[in-house]
Structure 1
Amino acid sequence: MTQIRIEATDLPGRTFGPGDDHPVHSGVHVGVQRRGRPGELLDLHPGDAPAAVWTLECTLKGRDITGPYVEGRPGGRFVYLSWGTLDERGAFAMFRRAKLMFDGIGADVLDAAVRSGLLVARLRLTDSRGGPLCAAVRPPLITWSARAD
């Protein structure tokens, strides 16, 4: 068994917008979406937290990564970070997602992760316009490494 640790910094804040294509979002939070279950999120972090860390169990077989939080088909796997608002009752309403794409992980890093048991992703969660990072995220926006924990 291997783990993926996502280490995120520079979160965009608890309020986002308005913009040309979206209203104001207040109570912004981010979490990891479980595969096939958009409403099931791991470890919600407020948008103004100094950092956010998630640890996911996964299986590495050759160059393929699978697990309960890993989406996509072989060769196109990724993890969703879901951005949404959390209301006073604790209900989460997603408004965008970031896809942490695995296709940018080097073979040497994957081999080292198999040996060490830990694959680490580091990224900033604020995009170039000051909002929550979204869309497909690949290097140089994310760095992947392997290390022993």
Structure 2
Amino acid sequence: MTGQAVMLRLIIRDPVPGVAYSLQDKDNRTVGPVTAGDGPIAFDVPVRVAPGPRFLGDFVRSEAGGRRFVYIAIGVSAGQHASPWTRRAKIDIHTLPEDLLNQALAGKVLEALLPGRDKDGGPACATVRPIAPWRAVD
């Protein structure tokens, strides 16, 4: 297996209550679906970091030009077939700063606080940027 394991924690600050959210793996399968309540929800995402850095793992997706990201599936995409929402949130990881990666490689968890709602009041989707910079936590 290539790369050293690190953990990313994606926290959705204000998800839409009653809507399902889940991680989506490389094969577009939903993993760990959670139906949002009134508070934040979080997903821990294991990834591997190889020299470069290169990000690898079951949840790491890629695009041309070196972009690496993780998908959070929402509503129908997360297996909630009666949902009015069919969305995915794309969270970039290829831009993580080297100092944070070094902390993760030393055992810290890298955490991102994400918005849960779009301008239309529905679940945030497309490329979702953290509300504050990524941070390393115990």
Match of 2:94 among 94, 98, 103: 103
CA deviation profile, 1:4-37 (whole Å, cap 9, x unmatched): 11122201233xxxxxxxxxxxxx31111011x2
C-alpha displacement of 1:49: 4.5
1:60 match: 49
Aligned mates of 2:16, 2:132 — CA distance in 1: 16
Aligned mates of 2:23, 2:84 — CA distance in 1: 14
Indicate yes or no: 2:59 matched with 1:80. Answer: no
Any gaps of 5 or more consecutive residues in structure 2?
none
Aligned mates of 1:84, 1:7 — CA distance in 2: 17
| TM-score normalised over the length of structure 1 | 0.73
Indicate yes or no: 2:19 matched with 1:8. Answer: no
2:115 match: 124
Question: What is the aligned residue count?
Answer: 129
What amino acid is aligned across from residue 42 of structure 1 in structure 2? V
CA deviation profile, 1:69-122 (whole Å, cap 9, x unmatched): 11115720000011123248xxx8971111001134222212221122422222
Deviant stretches of 4+, over 4 Å: none
Aligned mates of 1:129, 1:83 — CA distance in 2: 15
1:45 match: 34
What amino acid is aligned across from residue 33 of structure 2 in structure 1? L
1:136 match: 127
Identity %: 26
Aligned mates of 1:42, 1:67 — CA distance in 2: 14
RMSD: 2.4
C-alpha displacement of 1:132: 0.4
| TM-score normalised over the length of structure 2 | 0.78
What amino acid is aligned across from residue 6 of structure 1 in structure 2? L
Structure label with greater radius of gyration:
1
